Chains A and B, each alone.
Chain A
Amino acid sequence: MSKYGAYVWPAYAAVAAVFAWMIFDSLARARRWKRKAEDK
């Protein structure tokens, strides 16, 4: 990655972290509220 690795890799790491949060948070919310809505 030549001399620019110190900028490129953190950029990809930031995207990976934010995507992981978006996916985890969305699925966790869905699971939690589905369970509560179906709790008769």
Chain B
Amino acid sequence: MLAFLANPDRFMAFSRWAAPILGVVAALLLLAGLALGFAAPEDYQQGDTVRIMFIHVPAAWLGMFAYLCLGIASFLTLVFRHALADAAAKSAAPLGAAFTGLALITGSLWGRPMWGTWWVWDARLTSVLVLFLFYLGYMALRAAIDDEVKGGRAAAILALVGVINLPVVHFSVQWWNSLHQGSSVFGAKAGDELPAVYLQPLLLMGLGYLALFGSLWLVRIRSEVWRRRANALALKRAEG
């Protein structure tokens, strides 16, 4: 699949129909997730703040998933010097930063009534903040270097360094004594699993976020391909 899409013309033909389809799928999943989420009963301890979980947890998942995509695309950029992989890495960064920023904001809005504080320097929160800073660093480094190829390669190295943070984010609640609760979906301990009434809207929202990321990622990679074609065209004209 990756080899097939590595050809820019094939990628543009594929993404032309895949992006809008994923966009429609995202809208349907998010609407269904919202409907089920607001129909779910209040939690006996958290009250209505449990509804923040339906938008917070998927944002954290996507923040990490987008970084994994950024890491893989950066690896392909460095090893194969493939322009489309570089475009994919560049396009994933702002979306991943947005999801991670949302995880931080919504987590803070949940933490204030439940923990009594907007922020605590806990291992999970701090490692997610580090993830957000890696996204910002990646974008800033790219923007700071005039030579696009050199900037892309330097940023790709930074992105690969940041991949080390992903297992830290995931396992932080196990490795350290964390205020943040442990996993209640993937790899949850017996007794910690979410009841179906909360799990269903959460999974629908998670899939909706994933489809939205997929759709917008494709749109942004297409923009990047067009931008590079437009710049090549402008250069050709300037050279006469």
A-B residue pair count with CB separations less than 8 angstroms = 85
Asked whether B124 is an interface residue with its Cβ less than 8 Å from the other chain, the reply is no
Q: A15-B106, A26-B216 are in contact. Are A8 and B230 (CB under 8 A)?
A: no
The contact of B227 among A8, A25, A33, by CB within 8 Å, is A33
Q: Do A2 and B42 touch (CB < 8 A)?
A: yes
The main secondary structure of chain A at its interface with chain B is helix
Q: Do B109 and A7 touch (CB < 8 A)?
A: yes
Q: Considering the complex, give the chain A residue whose CB is closest to the CB of B220.
A: A26
Bound-complex Cα distance A38 to B227 (A): 10
Q: Do A36 and B230 touch (CB < 8 A)?
A: yes
Q: Which of the segments B52-60, B164-172, B195-203 contacts the partner chain?
A: B52-60
Q: A19-B212, A22-B95, A26-B223 are in contact. Are A11 and B48 (CB under 8 A)?
A: no
Q: Do A7 and B112 touch (CB < 8 A)?
A: yes
Q: Do A29 and B220 touch (CB < 8 A)?
A: yes
Contact with A along B34-49 (1 / 0, CB 8 A): 0000000010000111
Please count how many residues in chain A sit with their CB below 8 Å of the partner chain's CB atoms: 29
Point out the residues of chain B lying under 8 angstroms from A34, CB to CB. Answer: 222-223, 226
Q: A8-B48, A30-B222 are in contact. Are A39 and B109 (CB under 8 A)?
A: no
Q: Considering the complex, give the chain B residue whose CB is closest to the CB of A33.
A: B226
Q: Do B110 and A7 touch (CB < 8 A)?
A: yes
Q: Considering the complex, give the chain A residue whose CB is closest to the CB of B101.
A: A18
Asked whether B180 is an interface residue with its Cβ less than 8 Å from the other chain, the reply is no
The contact of A15 among B59, B94, B219, by CB within 8 Å, is B59
Known contacts A4-B49, A33-B227, A36-B226; 16 additional CB pairs below 8 A are A3-B47, A7-B109, A8-B51, A11-B55, A11-B109, A11-B110, A12-B51, A14-B105, A15-B102, A22-B216, A25-B94, A26-B223, A29-B219, A32-B223, A33-B226, A33-B230
A residues sitting closer than 8 Å to B (CB atoms) are: 1-5, 7-8, 10-12, 14-15, 18-19, 21-23, 25-27, 29-30, 32-34, 36-37, 39-40
